[in-house]
Amino acid sequence: MKIAVVIARVLLGLIFLIFGLNNFFQFIPGQMPPGDGAVMSGIMFKHGWVAFHGVLYLIAAVLLLVGRYVPVGLTILGPFLVNILLFHLTLMPGIGPGLFATALELFLIWAYWPAFRNIFTAKMDVPATEVSQ
């Protein structure tokens, strides 16, 4: 099990490291998606969202690859994976890589579940000494 977690963590980290660096250096040639996908991509490039995404991809990738603060890295990547899936479901076909990355993410969330358990608590009692006045 430990080996599968390390493999999934490194694979997901490498995926986002490569695509995060590609946002800055464009070493993977690409073309604009057709239709509305091109409009959305153009807006993201024009207003700097691609660079912002690239920075967050790199932060999450480094956390995953180093193996420290992995739940933080997974939390950063969660919304991006939702956006990747929705983009490919609605604007541009080719959902396979997004599904693969999402499967890795879900497996890692399951493996690191103790770190995520408390965010699904409906009401949490906070000791009075921890509440700032």
The 10s digit of each residue's pLDDT in 25-42 is 999 988 888 888 888 888
C-alpha 91: how far from its chain's center? 19
User: According to the model, what pLDDT value does residue 100 have?
Assistant: 97
| Dihedral sign (CA 58, 71, 89, 97) | positive
* Per-residue pLDDT, 41: 85
Q: Under 8 Å CB-to-CB from 118, ≥6 apart: which residues?
A: 124
Is residue 133 predicted with pLDDT exceeding 80?
A: no
Q: Which amino acid is at 56?
A: L
pLDDT over 60 at 54, yes or no: yes
pLDDT for the residue 125: 76
Number of CB atoms found within 10 A of residue 64's CB: 29
pLDDT at residue 124, as a whole number: 76
**Cα–Cα nearest to 16, from 106, 105, 115:** 105
pTM of the model: 0.87
Q: Are 104 and 46 in contact (CB under 8 A)?
A: no
Structural Rg of the chain based on CA atoms: 17
SS3 string, 28-45, reads CCCCCCCCHHHHHHHHHH
The rounded percent of the chain whose pLDDT value lies above 70 is: 95
pLDDT digits (tens, 9 = 90+) for 56-99: 999 999 999 999 999 999 999 999 999 999 988 988 888 999 99
Contacts of residue 47, defined as CB under 8 A and 6 or more positions apart, other chains included, come to none
Split at pLDDT 50, 70, 90, the class of 55 is very high
pLDDT band at 132 (very low <50, low <70, confident <90, very high): low
